[in-house]
Amino acid sequence: MRGKFITFEGGEGAGKTTLIEEIARQLTQEGRPVLKTREPGGTKLGEQIRTMLLQHTGPVSPYAEFSLFLASRAQHILEVIGPALESGKIVLCDRFNDSSIAYQGAARGLGMEQVGAFCKFISQGLEPELTLYLDLDPRVGLLRAAKDRKQDRIEAETIAFHEKIREAFLAIHKADPRRVCLIDASMPFPKVFEEAMKRIAQHV
Binding-site member from 32, 36, 56, 144 for ligand Z5A (CB under 6 A): 144
- State yes or no: residue 45 binds ligand Z5A (CB under 6 A): no
Nearest-approach distance from CB 152 to ligand Z5A, in angstroms = 5
Closest residue (Cβ) to ligand Z5A? 15
Of residues 79 and 152, the one with the C-beta less far from ligand Z5A: 152
- State yes or no: residue 18 binds ligand Z5A (CB under 6 A): yes
Q: How far apart are CA 201 and CA 41, in angstroms?
A: 27
* 3-class SS of residue 21: helix
DSSP per residue, 98-131: HHHIIIIIIISSS-HHHHHHHHHHHTTT---SEE
Interface with ligand Z5A by CB under 6 A: which range of 26-34, 170-178, 181-189, 194-202?
181-189
Binding-site member from 39, 75, 90, 166 for ligand Z5A (CB under 6 A): 39
DSSP per residue, 122-191: HTTT---SEEEEEE--HHHHHHHHHHHS---TTTTS-HHHHHHHHHHHHHHHHH-TTTEEEEETTS-HHH
Cα four-point dihedral sign 77, 93, 12, 168: positive
- State yes or no: residue 7 binds ligand Z5A (CB under 6 A): no
Nearest-approach distance from CB 113 to ligand Z5A, in angstroms = 16
For ligand Z5A, the binding residues (CB under 6 A) are 10, 12-18, 39-40, 54, 69, 94-95, 99-100, 103-104, 144-145, 147-148, 152, 154-155, 185, 188-189, 192
